[in-house]
């Protein structure tokens, strides 16, 4: 399952990138980083993560909670998968 994690940098982007450069993403085994996008203002990040165990997201978020406010975690699917599921249920 994929999850969009919406986070706000509570102390700015610099401390987050500095830690990541030193420690990496601090992902527990079984949680995989897919991709991310950062707002032009450098205050918000949208990370796409993948795992079969959503509890791993909590474990990972604890590692960053001093620098990041996690605003939302949303289970997501691709547009193509959503269209396929939607059309299959309406037939």
Enumerate domains of the chain plus CATH numbers: 2-90 (3.30.70)
Check the CA dihedral 16-19-24-30 and report its sign.
Answer: negative
Predicted TM-score (pTM) of this structure? 0.89
Distance separating alpha carbons of residues 74 and 3, to the nearest angstrom: 5
Q: Which residues are within 8 A (CB) of 60 and not within 5 positions of it... i.e. 6 or more apart?
A: 25, 26, 27, 28, 31, 49
Q: What is the mean pLDDT of residues 11-33?
A: 97
In this prediction, residue 6 carries a pLDDT of 98
In a 13 Å sphere around the CA of 58, the CA atoms on its Cβ side amount to 3
Q: Are 7 and 63 in contact (CB under 8 A)?
A: no
Q: Is the pLDDT of residue 85 over 90?
A: no
Q: Is the pLDDT of residue 84 over 60?
A: yes
Mind listing the pLDDT tens digit for each residue in 30-76? 999 999 999 999 999 999 999 999 999 999 999 999 999 999 999 99
């Amino acid at each position: 399952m994929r999850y969009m994690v919406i986070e706000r940098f509570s102390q700015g982007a610099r401390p987050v990138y500095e830690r990541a450069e030193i420690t990496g993403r601090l992902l527990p085994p079984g949680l995989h980083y897919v991709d991310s996008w950062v707002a032009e203002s450098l205050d918000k990040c949208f990370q796409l993560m993948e795992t079969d165990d959503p509890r791993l997201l909590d474990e990972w978020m604890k590692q960053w909670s001093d620098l990041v406010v996690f605003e939302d975690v949303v289970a997501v699917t691709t547009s193509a998968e959503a269209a396929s599921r939607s059309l299959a249920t309406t037939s």
